[in-house]
Chain A
């Protein structure tokens, strides 16, 4: 009887997957901006994973005072006088910073760092939101009230301000900065998940599960959560860009643990004092922030389109 796993069934399910994929591609084709965003997001992920191949991951620690604030890219002439002599053998595509490091290499190191932080924050927020939002929505009553009031406290304070205060209290390390952004970030996910669970738990199949004597934990996490997770996934994808923005805003205003750290906001911050003599120092890291966060925002739009049942056939 084991041979009953019919080839027909196999073909059917793989065809279903292919149909989904084709539908996704169709949506992308219809919306070239989303396609562009997805490519940018995908490219930055690929770059993050492979950055070690292009640049020594520890090279940001070494400074070369001799070649600082140097622009010798012949393709683009700024008509700015180099403050220091940089007629050496290497040309720097995006110039060097005030420590004499190659800006392009610093950006290549900064993208994985920012992306990792953003993913950490978003994934933790999704996890916290799913668990606590799920419990709040499903249990209801005083537990719901408690969790909601807790989110209210965090939502009542402007998020950047709260992050600044937390970062100040916790101390300036990358981990603490991540934590302080996360602390301002999770409440929206809890609320989103709770509202989803509230509508889902009234559906008849949940009653049927209670009728078969399924336990509360099983009903919530195995049945209700998979049915209500899509809006949270969409929100998470959309939020990666915003988290990168918030995080680099924090480092830009001076919460970077060290001035040398290759982090996009910090690179801009380090460049700002040379804005007239070496504008590339803020232009290129700034552009990178813009492009990457826009890319993830557009990717999030695309993900929403794919999951949105109202746009379905």
Chain B
């Protein structure tokens, strides 16, 4: 077996195995996901790229357990740290969402409740599960004491307050007013963490008073407040200005390290993937067609679709006409047989319409689903 340079085996936070999702519509069964295989390792940013309608968002919704009514998981497993999310009861799933998975959506304008202030929306999360957040709340109280004195010796009153806070057992029940006060402190610290200007003011503001970028920051703060193990970022920058996009993405990377979460970054922007992600998975028509480390993927794309995508990036220095992938996205009610890409593939041969290629590892960490490379 060939070992890559310093290839540390990391543990997987999330494993998606053979996930098939159908949508029941009037026109027929839309076979949206066709056996998605995906692994997210601890602490990494995995980019999920593909054109519109290829199933990126459906994958995210399936992981978060938010598929719409007319969707059906036909088969597959979604293992979050070994637990199959598809086999949880409704209540267990709700608690998992509250505790371990956070999802940030595309359009920040519509994903905040318009009549509740930003601060109240964050503190609501922090006060909703007392057991889970109590330690953090007390920590926020202590930190505030520290900040207030800035290293100077504590006054007796503050000293007493600090002792009281430290003596709070995880099992003891805090008074309501105390919880509220601490939750506000903690919420402010998250608003500060996402670099919102004047957090105390933003705390009191309503969503309509914020700009798009500020709203997205507030939503990220809400996602972080729950200390998720997995953050699903579904096209979070699509609705924002280019300058703000860069800020938000940089923020995401920074924060991921601070709270030690894994991120699935869903995007159709290859530049974002190149800039931010550790690994990338390319999706086409409900399949993962190629997974690799980002540098490897850009340097050495194997799947014809990935190659086509990379060739379709406009370059300022290029003289030749921009290439594009011929044909159009297949109808997922009647998807092509075998490899779903074969009608558009320049390298297709006679076996392609007959065999659905499995995802095989061609070099360490680089997997591809194409008959050209075995399978």
The answer to whether residues A13 and B204 also contact, given A213-B94, A213-B98 and a CB cut-off of 8 A, is yes
Instruction: Let me know if A212 and B222 touch, CB within 8 A.
Output: yes
Instruction: Let me know if B144 and A204 touch, CB within 8 A.
Output: no
Q: B113, B124, B198: which contacts A205 (Cβ < 8 A)?
A: B113
The answer to whether residues A9 and B114 also contact, given A212-B226, A213-B95 and a CB cut-off of 8 A, is no
The answer to whether residues A212 and B204 also contact, given A1-B147, A205-B112 and a CB cut-off of 8 A, is no
Shortest Cβ distance from residue A283 to the other chain B in the assembled complex, whole angstroms: 47
Q: For residue B297, which residues in chain A have a CB less than 8 angstroms away from its CB?
A: none
Q: For residue B114, which residues in chain A have a CB less than 8 angstroms away from its CB?
A: 205, 227
Instruction: Let me know if A223 and B226 touch, CB within 8 A.
Output: no
Instruction: Let me know if A1 and B113 touch, CB within 8 A.
Output: no
Interface string of B138-157 (1 = CB under 8 A from A): 00000010011000000000
Q: A4, A6, A207, A212: which contacts B102 (Cβ < 8 A)?
A: A212
Q: A1, A205, A222: which contacts B188 (Cβ < 8 A)?
A: A1
Instruction: Let me know if A211 and B200 touch, CB within 8 A.
Output: no
Q: Which residue of A lies closest to B144 (CB)?
A: A1
Q: Which of B144, B188, B201, B223 has the most CB of A within 10 A?
A: B201
A215 interface residue per 8 A CB criterion: yes
Interface string of A201-228 (1 = CB under 8 A from B): 0011101111111110010001100110
A5 interface residue per 8 A CB criterion: yes
Instruction: Let me know if B201 and A1 touch, CB within 8 A.
Output: no
A77 interface residue per 8 A CB criterion: no
Q: B98, B99, B105, B188: which contacts A204 (Cβ < 8 A)?
A: B105
Q: Which residue of B lies closest to A209 (CB)?
A: B113
Instruction: Let me know if B94 and A215 touch, CB within 8 A.
Output: yes
Interface string of B146-187 (1 = CB under 8 A from A): 011000000000000000000000000000000000000100
A30 interface residue per 8 A CB criterion: no
Instruction: Let me know if B128 and A9 touch, CB within 8 A.
Output: no
Q: Which of A208, A209, A214, A215 has the most CB of B within 10 A?
A: A208
Shortest Cβ distance from residue A116 to the other chain B in the assembled complex, whole angstroms: 30
If over half of A's interface residues share one DSSP class (helix, strand or loop), that class is named, otherwise mixed; here it is helix
A90 interface residue per 8 A CB criterion: no
Bound Cα distance A204, B114 (Å): 11
A79 interface residue per 8 A CB criterion: no
Instruction: Let me know if A4 and B199 touch, CB within 8 A.
Output: yes
Bound Cα distance A215, B97 (Å): 11
Q: B110, B113, B200: which contacts A227 (Cβ < 8 A)?
A: B113
Q: For residue B128, which residues in chain A have a CB less than 8 angstroms away from its CB?
A: 214, 218
Instruction: Let me know if B198 and A6 touch, CB within 8 A.
Output: yes
Q: For residue A203, which residues in chain B have a CB less than 8 angstroms away from its CB?
A: 110
Q: A208-B111, A213-B96 given. 14 additional CB < 8 A pairs?
A: A6-B201, A8-B198, A9-B198, A9-B200, A9-B204, A204-B111, A207-B105, A208-B103, A208-B112, A210-B97, A212-B98, A213-B94, A213-B99, A215-B94
- 9 smallest A-B Cβ distances: which pairs? A213-B98, A213-B97, A9-B201, A204-B110, A4-B200, A208-B111, A213-B94, A211-B103, A204-B111
Q: Can you name 9 A-B residue pairings with CB atoms under 8 Å?
A: A9-B198, A9-B200, A208-B103, A209-B113, A210-B66, A211-B64, A212-B125, A222-B124, A227-B114
